[in-house]
Amino acid sequence: MEGRDDRKMANGVGKHKLLVIGPKEPWSVREKLCLATSVMKSGDQNWVSVSRAIKPFAEPGRPPDWFSQKHCASKYSELLETTEAPKRKRGEKGEVVETVEDVIVRRLTGERIEELKKLIKETQETHRKLKREAELIQAGHLDSKLEELWEDIQLKRKQEEEEAELKRKNTDAAYQGKYCI
């Protein structure tokens, strides 16, 4: 019976049954884009291939079965539920040119591009700031503040480590109470 539900949930036709399986930790746009492109390539009935193809793209700290077949099918079902059916464009022979898979991949690609643009901008700004600080240090203008700067660096490092540990614990906790339907 469960297999039939998975097929209903996964096929790209008609109403989609929204089935939430797995940890409540959200998937990144990158992970969703990997999922959508893999489904586009392998189809929405071949979850073994989809799961295997995207496993190398898991974000750091993800549990080993983050991209299990059921989790992939569930997440793809969510993507289908939140995507409007494509406008009916016709090709030369009357076939529909754009599929719901195309719409999902196009939307996620746009989101990922925006994420990467933002990341590039933030990285460039950080680089400029560090370059200015390095120049000031080399010129001797910050000698009186070196101890304070070092303490700031250590504090930031400690905060980043604590945040990473908290995220890991949250992922583990969400994963422990993982299956909610």
* pLDDT tens digits for range 40-51: 999 888 999 999
* pLDDT tens digits for range 57-80: 998 888 888 999 999 999 999 999
In which band, very low, low, confident or very high, does the pLDDT at 92 lie, cut at 50, 70 and 90? low
Q: With 60 as the cut, is the pLDDT of residue 108 above it?
A: yes
pTM: 0.67
Residue 1 burial class via C-beta count within 10 angstroms: exposed 0-12, middle 13-18, buried 19 and up: exposed
Residue (of 173, 171, 166) closest to 66 by Cα position: 171
* pLDDT tens digits for range 20-36: 455 567 999 999 999 99
Q: What is the mean pLDDT of residues 79-97?
A: 74
DSSP string computed for 91-149? -TTS-B---HHHHHHHHHHHHHHHHHHHHHHHHHHHHHHHHHHHHHHHTTTTGGGHHHH
In which band, very low, low, confident or very high, does the pLDDT at 5 lie, cut at 50, 70 and 90? very low
